[in-house]
Each structure stands twice: as C-alpha cells, then as structure tokens.
Structure 1
Amino acid sequence: MGLSGSALADRIHGGWLGRVAGNMLGKPVERGDHWTRDRIDRYLRRAGALPLTDYLPVLEPPPDPVEFELRPEWQECTRGRIHGSCRDDDVDYSVLGLHLLETHGFGFTTEQVGELWLLCLPYLQTFTAERVAYRNLAAGVKPPLSATLDNPYQEWIGALIRADIHGWVNPGDPRRAAGMARRDAVLSHTGNGVYGAMWAAALIAAAFTADGPRAAVEEALTPIPPRCRLARVVRRAASLYDAGVSWANALDQLERETVGLPWIHVVPNAAVITTGLLYGAGDFTSTITLTVRGGLDTDSNGATAGSVAGVLCGAEAIPRQWTDPLEDRLRSAVFGFDDARISDLAARTHRLAVAGAQLVAT
C-alpha cells in the first residue's frame, strides 16, 4: 500500500474534499453543448476571474442572460454563496459506493450494486445510462442485460463518476481498484463506458503512490485494453503534453480527434480530465480549474480531477478557499446520508482501505 496511519487518512480525506470541491466548481456551467471552452473563458474574463483561483463568481446583472445562463443550482455553488455542498449525482455515487462496501465488502456482486440502487437511490436522481439500468432493474431485468436493454448511453460518463470509492479503498493497487470498478460499471455500461470506470479507479489508486500526475496517468492505463478508444485518447493527451503543446492547443487537437461524440460520452471527457491533470502538474487549484475550463461535463470532470489532485496532495494541503465553504457538510439523495460530514465519510473510507489491505496481506 505504501502509506499508512494519518498520512493515508489525510490522502483519502483529500480525495473526498477534492471530489466535492471540483464538482461544485463545475456545476454552474455543466452543459457542454452550451458552455463551450470559449464561452466559459469569456464569462470568466467578464468577471475578472482569469486566472481562476476560486469558485465561479456570479455576474450581476448578467450581461447576457441567455449566453451566460448558469444552471439553476448556481445559488448554492458559486463564490460567496456556498454553505456546505449542494446535492449532485457525482457525489451521491461515491456515498452509495461507500455504503455498498460497508454492507457487502470487497467481494460485492453486480447484482448487489443494483439492489442497493433500488433500496437507497431515488429514481429521479439518476440520469442517462443509470436511469435506464434502474428502470430495467425495477422491471426484473438482471445484469448484464440491465446495461444493454434499450440503453443508448452505454459508453457515456456515468460509470466513471461512480469509480472513486474503488480507488480510495485500494491505495497503490490500480488493478484491484479497476476490477472492483468493473463489477460496478457493468450494471449500466459496456465497452468504453466500463473502461472509463476502470481507468478512473486505477488513476485514483495510483495517485496514492505515483510520482505525480504523469506517472499516475500512465499507471492507470495498465488494467484496461491498450487498443480501446479510451486508452488511445488518454495516451494521445499525454503525448501532446510530453511534446510541449500548450494546454489550449492540446484540447483543440483532442476535440478534433473526438468530434461527433456526445458531450457526455466518456472518451472526450477522459481527454479533458487527463489534460487537466497533466497541465495542472500536481497543483490542486490549477488542476481543477483547468479541468473545468476544458468544458464538456464540467462538474463530473472537475470532481474526478479534484479527487485525483486531492489524493496527490492530501486534505491538509488543499487551499482553504476550496474547503472552508464546504463546512464539512455534504448533501445527498442517498437514503440515510443527507447532511453527512465529509470528514466522517473519509474516516469510514479509511477504515475500509485498512481492512482491505489486511485482506490482501492474508
């Protein structure tokens, strides 16, 4: 595992805080077909907020309420208005994943993931592939058919956003993290949708012991098929970074190479996450702000990049402008978890990670 005691606890806590903060940063502009990279930066320039170093500011009155229309939740997740985290599915699934492992252990089955969804997750708080799978489960359809029956979203980003918990509880063990994420993902996804979840879990697990984000990105590719489209786009993003291409030009090139895919598809979003991590160079603020400025599914991408960056630096090193407004409180639609303490969720995750390491040792 490579880490133990308070150091491991701090890194796991950093992952939770980073996920919540990154999600909150991206949520006001989460609509990739409208909030393009160019529009996000034009908004930030109007607000005098480039470079971005804090949560999104609000332009009042907005110079163009149509062009710069924020999501309705902006009143809970913009600068100066945050008092604890607002509810979001990107964090609900981390909470539900923790509950899954506390209930069924590391040997959970895909069927048990589905049962917990039906018991603890409101149907109307699911979206795209998860909503289709939920409907299939409620109709008695079992996995893996639950992922394919009437599901046009099988390779979208939903399984990736559920993967963090499997990385947090397997510090330094990307393959084990990816295997657990796969069991979760196949409930609702196939192909690159599953590989995206495996990659994200492996990326977070690798961040505990890797020598920076570049090494973590490389190590996270080992559990997934090397010729799948997701692996190819991650390697492409890394090659552009290694060649010294600028952040903006790298994203331009990756956008051209993934043209035609929906803005919630896992492949272009993995490119944005990878680019944010590499050009953020291990700095928490740079990582999440570059990732969100990269557009597409901004809150999901900010959450995953924030989780990795938080693990890399640990909770104590995350700048206070990101953590203080969260007030250690987390809103959640998962039954029994609303208004939970982020620190408590992190401590419970740490206990699971320690127990998991003991299982491997024996």
Structure 2
Amino acid sequence: MTGTAHKTPPAQLSDRILGGWLGRIAGNMLGKPVERGDYWTRARIDAYLRRTDALPLTGYLPPPPADAAPGEFTLRPEWRECVRGRVHGSCRDDDVDYAILGLHLLETHGFGFTTEQVGQVWLERLPYLQTFTAERVAYRNLVDGIGPPRTASHDNPYQEWIGALIRADVFGWTCPGDPDAAAALARRDAALSHRGNGVHGAVWAAATIAAAFTADGPRAALEAGLGRVPPDSRLARTVRHTIALHDSGTDWAGTLDEMERRTAGQGWIHVVPNAAVLTAGLLYGAGDFTRTIALTVRGGLDTDSNGATAGSVAGVLCGASALPPQWTEPLADRVRSAVFGFDGTSVTELARRTARLAAARTGEDRAGEDRAGGEDRAG
C-alpha cells in the first residue's frame, strides 16, 4: 500500500486530515473532565450523565449538577474549559501537544527522522513538567546523558503505558492509505520512551489512522492496524478478542465487561485495556462520529486519550465537512499548546501543514517509483 495518498483527491485529503485534527481535539475535550480511570468508572460516568440528563451523550459533558453532594462527582480541574457552554478553543493537553510536536518533528527533520532527533525536539520544544509517566522518565534520561534505546528502559516502569499511542496520529495523517509507512514512523518515535506493548500500541494506532483514509469503515481500518503488530502480543490478542465479541453480537456493555475481566490488573493507563475500550468505541460507533467518541469516553479508563484517538479515526473516516457542529464550532479554530511556538495556533493551519507534508511524501514516493521504472526500462 506504499504511496497511495495520490488516490485521494487533494481537497478530500485536506478535509479528512482536518477531520482527524478536529476529531482528536474534540474527543480529548470530551474525555478530559473525567480522566481518572480508577475513580471515573463506566458506572460513575453514566451516573453523572443520568444526573445531568445527558444520555444519550450527543455533545460535550454538561457541568456538574448544582445539587451534587460534596465528593459525589470530582471532575478534573480543567472541567470549566471543557464542558458545554464553556468551550472556546481547546484547553492545553498532552494528547494534543504530541500531535503538534510530531508535526514539528516531520517539518524539521523529514520522514527520515531518527529516534535521537525525537528526543532533541522534546528537549527544545516541550516543557519537562508537561510530560508524564514514560515520557517524563525518557526526558529525564535524556537530560542525564542517556540516549535511546536506553531512554525507554532505564528506570522506566511505564514503558507499556499509553503514552506512545497518543503520539501516533500525525504519522497516520501524513501517510494516508499507507499503514506500513505510518507504522514504521510511529515505531521510531515510540522507541524513545516505550517498549513491548507500549510500542505496539503506537504502531497499531498510526496504521489504523493511515488505513482510515482508504478503508470502507472502522472495522477495516482496525484490521489494517492489527496487521502491523506481532499477532501474539497482548495488544493484538486484546484487539482481536474485542472484535470477536462485537462480531458475535455481544452488546457494547457486555463486550467491555468481558474485556475488563480479561485485562484486570494492568492499570487504567496501561495501553492494553485502553486498546479494548478504543476498539469497542470504534466498532460500536460504526463510523458515526458522535456515537464513536461518546461510547469511547463512556468506556472509561484514560478517557481523554481514548476519546482523542477515536475522534481522530472517526474524523478521518467522516472528513471535517461532515463533523457535527456541536463538536467543532466551540473549538473556534484555536488550539492551546505547551509546545514552544505553537500556543494559539489555528487548527486549520495545523491541518494545512499536515496536508502539505502528506503531499510532499507522496511526491517523494512517485519520484522513487519513476526512478525505479526508468531503471527497469533501462535494464
């Protein structure tokens, strides 16, 4: 599937890349107030939605009920920027920062970037206190003079958590229709901070997003992503079992009940249980943007990260022009970011620059094919 981006007309490609950006930001904003999987269980999230008359969930979360008892619903401190009626541009979050940082990485170093260059970009553009878990460990290792791949393994108990997966979107957006290329880029990026299933999660996400540009729905995109990770890995087995439950006719809640039992003990930020929630949201969302991000966030665990990735896949599948306005208009085409030089950038501008990279990469592929064809003819 290498070099297939040219099969999508430029205007449609740009619309779908913008859909990915908007979807990621909207899904992140939806999940942010309830991001704490040990407290915001599926049951508590739905209890909140029932108390605020927000089921079915068709927009950003409502503010907490005025008559809530103390401690009944403890939202993240950022909730005031993320609930209905208060959203005006995105709030700052690492799930969006890393997409921006990845864009800067590709603009600065091209598609041949090295893992060492990923680390250098972090040191130059990302504040240390805006990193968490595996990324913070890798950052500290870099400062201490430890280079990759040891940055991912030295004193790092988080190397299979979800951090690398949330960095993967830009590699899918810039390799539309080419999951192999997206997977290779995501693997190189993830190696700075993750190993094992942590890397597999990033590869799977990037390949799924790349495949969404040409797939006929979320199931086909997920299968394409799954084909780029080791089939015997815990991540692959988890995704496959979630798909099998969906195919068997098990409902969304029953699927998540079963997957919660199967992934028990791995923690709410580990990539494996979150992959199950994300897979279920995409499958049962069935290509509908609102239903996809709503089910994914209602699935609990790392709600803002899962909502962001589900929104990215669904946004690519739908395209920006088809996204419901209750998600996009409050964003006001503006993103907050801790990445140096990017705070206040318009989402449209980020998408334009991403599309330019995708087009440039396709041109490089075409040139390589032309050269190879010429050599074949010459021979």
Q: Which amino acid aligns with 1:96?
A: L
Q: Which amino acid aligns with 1:184?
A: D
**Equivalent of residue 73 in structure 1, options 78, 90, 97:** 78
Cα distance in 1 for partners of 2:315, 2:65 equals 32
User: After the TM superposition, which residues 336-351 of structure 1 pair with which residues of structure 2 at under 5 Å, given as runs?
Assistant: 336-351=341-356
**Equivalent of residue 152 in structure 1, options 131, 151, 157:** 157
CA contact (8 A) 2:52 2:65 kept: no
Secondary structure at 2:77 match in 1: coil
Mapped pair 1:361 → 2:366: yes
**CA apart distance, 1:62:** 4.7
How high is the TM-score relative to the length of structure 2? 0.95
Equivalence for 1:212: 217
Q: Which amino acid aligns with 2:331?
A: L
**Equivalent of residue 37 in structure 2, options 4, 9, 32:** 32
Mapped pair 1:252 → 2:269: no
CA contact (8 A) 1:330 1:340 kept: yes
Cα RMSD of the aligned pairs, angstroms, is: 0.6
Mapped pair 1:89 → 2:115: no
User: After the TM superposition, which residues 114-129 of structure 1 pair with which residues of structure 2 at under 5 Å, given as runs?
Assistant: 114-129=119-134
Equivalence for 1:327: 332
CA contact (8 A) 1:90 1:161 kept: yes
**CA apart distance, 1:359:** 1.2
**CA apart distance, 1:67:** 2.7
Secondary structure at 1:153 match in 2: coil
Structure 1's 211 and 43: CA in aligned 2 closer, same or farther, altered over 3 A?
A: same
Where do 5+ consecutive residues of structure 1 fail to align?
none
Secondary structure at 1:237 match in 2: helix
User: After the TM superposition, which residues 255-266 of structure 1 pair with which residues of structure 2 at under 5 Å, given as runs?
Assistant: 255-266=260-271
**CA apart distance, 1:60:** 3.5
Answer with 1 or 2: which has the greater Rg. Answer: 2
Equivalence for 1:56: 61
Cα distance in 1 for partners of 2:15, 2:157 equals 39
Q: Which amino acid aligns with 1:76?
A: E
Equivalence for 1:16: 21
**Equivalent of residue 280 in structure 2, options 262, 275, 284:** 275
* Residue-by-residue CA offset, 1:108-159 (whole Å, 9 max, x unaligned): 0000000000000000000000000000001110000000100000000000
* Residue-by-residue CA offset, 1:185-208 (whole Å, 9 max, x unaligned): 000000000000000000000000
Secondary structure at 1:261 match in 2: coil
Where do 5+ consecutive residues of structure 2 fail to align?
368-379
CA contact (8 A) 2:51 2:65 kept: no
Q: Which amino acid aligns with 1:192?
A: N
How high is the TM-score relative to the length of structure 1? 0.99
**CA apart distance, 1:297:** 0.1
Cα distance in 2 for partners of 1:52, 1:61 equals 19
Work out the percentage of aligned pairs sharing the same amino acid: 71
Number of residue-to-residue matches in the alignment = 362
Equivalence for 1:168: 173
Equivalence for 2:376: none
CA contact (8 A) 1:62 1:68 kept: no
Mapped pair 1:296 → 2:301: yes
**Equivalent of residue 188 in structure 2, options 165, 174, 183:** 183
Q: Which amino acid aligns with 2:285?
A: G
**CA apart distance, 1:90:** 0.2
Equivalence for 1:132: 137
Equivalence for 1:235: 240
* Residue-by-residue CA offset, 1:30-55 (whole Å, 9 max, x unaligned): 00000000000000000000000000
* Residue-by-residue CA offset, 1:48-106 (whole Å, 9 max, x unaligned): 00000000001232513313110000110001001100000000000000000000000
Secondary structure at 2:49 match in 1: helix
CA contact (8 A) 2:168 2:205 kept: yes
Cα distance in 2 for partners of 1:182, 1:272 equals 22
Cα distance in 1 for partners of 2:283, 2:240 equals 12
* Residue-by-residue CA offset, 1:206-251 (whole Å, 9 max, x unaligned): 0000010011111111111011000000001100111110000000
Q: Which amino acid aligns with 2:102?
A: G
Cα distance in 2 for partners of 1:194, 1:269 equals 14
Cα distance in 1 for partners of 2:9, 2:357 equals 13
**CA apart distance, 1:168:** 0.1
Q: Which amino acid aligns with 2:44?
A: R
